[in-house]
Structure 1
Amino acid sequence: MASSFEKFQKRRLISSYFSVVLSIFLVLFLLGALGLFVIHSEKISNSFKEDIPMSVYFKDEANDSILKAFDAKLKGSNYVKDYAFVSKDDAAKNNKDIVGEDFLEFLGMNPLPNSFDIHLKGEYVEAAKIKQVESDIKTNDMVSEVIYDKRLVDLANENIKKISFWILVISGVFAVISMLLINSSLRLSVYSNRFIIKTMQMVGATKSFIRKPFIWRGIRLGLIGSVLAIAALIALNYYVDSLFPSLGIAKDYVSLGIVLAGVILVGIIITWISTFFATQRFLNLKTDDLY
């Protein structure tokens, strides 16, 4: 009977440890994933904003030297991510591919102007800054028109601000919930040893002496959960990078290192605090209250 009871206790203890590690792993993984998203949120928002094109159309009087000079200006500017020159002939060909008809046949001329399709850097796709860029481009007398979707620019910035705000709110709420979940799991783990705690106390062991092995065990469980969370976060990081290689997430080792270090630190701190207060609670209980 004693052997069966010991096996049962051992299985229950292992099950308790497993649930603690699983809770820590899931919570830290989700927190780490949220942390990675927050850190890279600017890259993600910039990537979206950089897809908004700006088209610069030139007058018919603009000759090759003027177009080459403007090309050189774009190449040396700090607000351009990339650009492409679209000649009159290329514009006509693109129009034919879209419409399905060659309008040159019945017009007898090509009315389309030479133009540049520009993608600005994300930080410049804001109402005030993009107007400055537009004004700078229009200083060229040969520029006839600068076109971009002003409403889309405003919507992009408004939505990014809203999303950023709610991400911060959710991060705060989730951080509190995660601490409560880990604390609850560790309290259950300590609860299964409440009689051992009281027995040690009855034979004269000090509170700090009793707490120490539980705290170290809690920290070890936290480290195991942290290591599992780190492995999952690294895999997630490379998976997201394979989907969106332009963001360069996998090469941002500093941000990844900060998040992974934070995961380990949070795992240690939460388990230490939770185990400390869990053991303290049972140390202060009377014997009759243990049942």
Structure 2
Amino acid sequence: MMLFYLSEAVKLFKRSPLGSFITIITTAIAVGITTFAFLLIFLSNNISEKLKSNVEINVFLKENYSSDDKINFENFLRGNNIIKKFNFISKEEAEKKFIYETGESFKDILDVNPLPASYKLYLKPKFVDENKIEELKKQIIQNPIVDDVVFDYSTLLRILNIINKLSTFVYLIAILLFVLSVYLVFSNSKLVIKSREKTYNTMKLIGTKLFSIRFPILLNGIIIGLISSLMVIIVVFFAFYLLQKLYPFINIGVSLYFIYSLILLLGLILGLSGSYIAARSITLQFN
């Protein structure tokens, strides 16, 4: 029985070959761009999290402060829910770092260490935005032992905005193509149903079940989705193959199988959705 349904589903391609071809190509493009959108959003979220987790605020202290002032300031930092952790850098450590990075010592010119003690603050990624950082800076600068607060966030925020806008743009295109592909599968199925109206009426007269009439249409949509997915998988396979030839150090690993699974799933959803909507229009009433 399954072979009969499958042969009927394949015959539907002959009813509208041009429409089926256009539907398959459009569905393949929709699957490809939707997959790319998912991957881009996933990667952009990871990149954003990594960028935000590396955000640093440098707090420079005044020359003369008591140990009690230092303890009170550290208690303030620990109690702030925006700050993930902080490191204290003494004047001596700052001097050693300066010599290590520059290879020079200012002791030949100056008798005292001009570098201030400081704190390096790391923020929780979910709190990294311009308003919260500005508010934190205002709170810190009011402390009597703080001389200056330095954080150049403009470049970082610009990068994060570009990533978010790019993700949103690709995501909107993917949704548009997804809907268009479902509509094309639906339209192609409706054309096939219309062309076989007399056949379906005959099947109804002899008592054929509604499922037996609808199922080949659903199978046709599934086949369209599978063909489209296979086309995208072939393109992705050769793209990654060339990438690994050019850059052998790149290790795809399990992620490539995840991408293939995602492509197959999207193709099946697209093909089945359009054909299912069209098949529901078929009833046991005579047209």
Q: Deviations over 1:243-290 (max 9, x none)?
A: 9xxxxxx9xxxxxxxxx999876564234125667x89xx98xxxxxx
Out of 139, 144, 165, the residue aligned to residue 142 of structure 2 is: 139
* Cα 1:150–1:195 shift into 2, 3 Å: closer
Aligned to 2:169: 166
Matched, 1:106 2:79: no
AA partner of residue 213 (structure 2): R
TM-score w.r.t. the length of structure 2 is 0.60
Aligned to 1:217: 219
SS in structure 2 of the partner of residue 107 of structure 1? coil
- The runs of at least 4 consecutive aligned structure 1 residues that moved more than 6 Å come to 19-26, 193-197, 222-228, 260-264
Root-mean-square deviation (CA, aligned residues, Å) is 5.0
AA partner of residue 273 (structure 1): I
TM-superposed deviation, 1:82: 3.4
AA partner of residue 34 (structure 1): A
Q: 2:224 and 2:66 mapped to 1: Cα distance?
A: 69
Out of 107, 111, 121, the residue aligned to residue 124 of structure 2 is: 121
TM-superposed deviation, 1:219: 6.5
TM-score w.r.t. the length of structure 1 is 0.59
Q: Deviations over 1:98-125 (max 9, x none)?
A: 2121223432321111111222233433
User: CA contact under 8 A between 1:86 and 1:116: conserved in structure 2?
Assistant: yes
User: CA contact under 8 A between 1:21 and 1:224: conserved in structure 2?
Assistant: no
Q: 2:200 and 2:269 mapped to 1: Cα distance?
A: 31
Out of 260, 267, 273, the residue aligned to residue 269 of structure 1 is: 273
Give percent identity, aligned residues only: 22
TM-superposed deviation, 1:97: 2.0
User: CA contact under 8 A between 1:57 and 1:144: conserved in structure 2?
Assistant: yes
Q: Deviations over 1:170-209 (max 9, x none)?
A: 233332344356558x759x96x99987555446468983
Aligned to 2:246: none
Out of 67, 70, 74, the residue aligned to residue 71 of structure 1 is: 74
Matched, 1:130 2:130: no
Aligned to 1:176: 179
Matched, 1:93 2:99: no
* Cα 1:180–1:265 shift into 2, 3 Å: closer
TM-superposed deviation, 1:133: 0.5
Segments of structure 2 that go 5 or more residues without pairing to the other structure are 1-5, 14-20, 234-249, 256-263
AA partner of residue 107 (structure 2): L
* Cα 1:117–1:205 shift into 2, 3 Å: farther
User: CA contact under 8 A between 1:215 and 1:276: conserved in structure 2?
Assistant: no
**Aligned length, in residue pairs:** 244
Q: 2:178 and 2:219 mapped to 1: Cα distance?
A: 23
